[in-house]
């Protein structure tokens, strides 16, 4: 007759389990330190900007126009110009990027031509912004004869951000299970009906990710708009919501920040920091709204 196993001994951790738990604890600490090492510099930068920008931050600073050679006053023309550039480039890039991704993921066959297209999209995402600026200068300002204008700058930004939208949209479409498509095809639905009713609604949250990145990059770029449509100064009325025509040049926050920080003498010390804070907050506000919409859509998924 064998001796009964002691219940305490039965549930005692082995050396192997103890070693694995120790490794897991060390890994958690290392990963936590990595996260903290990314968050602390970001918070430090934001705190530094706000600290130096506080003397100039006000509602008047936002809606007032630059004065005394841009050494005083507000940033209204640059703020509205940035909205123009971002919204127009988004209206151009988002539909083209989404439909291109739908073709590449849902319709395109695996052949040499489509592989070249995929390679071109990947390579285009890595092209420096200054190269996009020179392309926009030659293609839109000179070849298309749009001149130095908002439409030239917006088209340049749209081409620059198009690969990000295509790539993120393709990933979102690919995340929808193939069984969803097969179920629709089995009941007689066409490919487009399946995409419109099943694939797109279940991938919209991922598509918004690419659009969020597009907005952030378009708002912060300087070189593409400097070569194609941005201007150092443009006289507009205080608080005017429609101060520009599409065939005119405009001011932009990124360009204005560079100008007042490097080109304008006797600028109030807090003025460039306040401009940077407005640009940062504008991007964060748009991103926060898109993220909230994405979370809401994700919570209302059918699967």
Domain regions of the chain by residue span: 76-299
Residue 193 token pair: 């009906």
Q: Please tell me the predicted confidence (pLDDT) of residue 5.
A: 53
pTM over 0.85: no
pLDDT (tens digit, 0 to 9) for every residue of the chain, 303 residues total? Answer: 455 555 555 567 788 888 888 899 999 999 999 999 989 998 999 999 999 999 888 888 888 888 887 888 888 999 999 999 999 998 999 999 999 999 988 888 888 888 888 888 888 878 888 899 999 999 999 998 998 999 999 999 999 988 888 988 888 888 888 888 888 888 888 888 888 888 888 888 788 877 887 888 888 888 889 899 888 888 888 877 888 888 999 999 988 888 888 888 888 888 899 999 998 888 888 878 777 877 777 776 655
Question: What pLDDT sits at residue 51?
Answer: 92
Contacts of 219 (CB under 8 A, 6+ apart): 82, 85, 86, 253, 254, 279, 282, 283, 286
pLDDT of residue 181: 86
pLDDT at position 40 is 93
Report the C-alpha dihedral over residues 234, 237, 241, 245, rounded to 10 degrees. -40
Cα of 293 vs its chain's centroid, Å: 15
Per CATH, which fold does 76-299 belong to? MetI-like fold (1.10.3720)
> CB within 8 A of 203, min separation 6: which ones?
169, 172, 173, 175, 176
Closest by CA to 283, choosing from 46, 103, 41, 73, is 46
- The number of angstroms, rounded, from the C-alpha of 203 to the middle of its chain's C-alpha atoms is 18
């Amino acid at each position: 007759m064998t001796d009964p196993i002691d219940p305490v001994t039965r549930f005692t951790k082995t050396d192997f389990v103890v070693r694995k738990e120790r490794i897991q604890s060390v890994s958690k600490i290392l990963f936590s330190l990595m996260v903290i090492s990314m968050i602390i510099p970001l918070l430090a930068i934001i705190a530094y900007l706000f600290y130096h920008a506080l003397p100039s931050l006000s509602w008047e600073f936002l809606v007032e126009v630059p004065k005394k050679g841009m050494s005083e006053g507000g940033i209204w023309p640059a703020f509205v110009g940035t909205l123009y550039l971002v919204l127009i480039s988004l209206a151009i890039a988002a539909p083209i990027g989404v439909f291109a991704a739908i073709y590449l993921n849902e319709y395109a066959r695996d052949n040499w031509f489509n592989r070249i297209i995929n390679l071109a999209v990947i390579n285009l995402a890595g092209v420096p912004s200054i190269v996009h600026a020179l392309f926009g200068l030659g293609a839109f300002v000179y070849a298309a004869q749009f001149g130095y204008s908002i439409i030239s700058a917006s088209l340049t930004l749209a081409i620059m951000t198009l690969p990000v939208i295509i790539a993120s949209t393709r990933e979102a479409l690919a995340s929808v299970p193939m069984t969803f498509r097969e179920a629709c095809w089995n009941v007689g639905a066409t490919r487009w009906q399946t995409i419109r009713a099943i694939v797109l609604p279940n991938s919209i949250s991922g598509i918004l990710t690419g659009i969020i990145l597009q907005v952030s990059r378009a708002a912060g770029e300087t070189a593409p708009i400097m070569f194609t449509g941005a201007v150092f100064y443009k006289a507009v009325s205080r608080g005017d919501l429609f101060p520009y025509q599409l065939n005119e040049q405009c001011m932009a926050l990124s360009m204005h920040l560079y100008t007042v920080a490097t080109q304008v003498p006797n600028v109030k010390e807090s003025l460039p920091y306040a401009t940077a804070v407005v640009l940062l907050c504008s991007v964060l506000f748009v991103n926060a709204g898109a993220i909230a919409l994405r979370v809401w859509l994700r919570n209302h998924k059918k699967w």
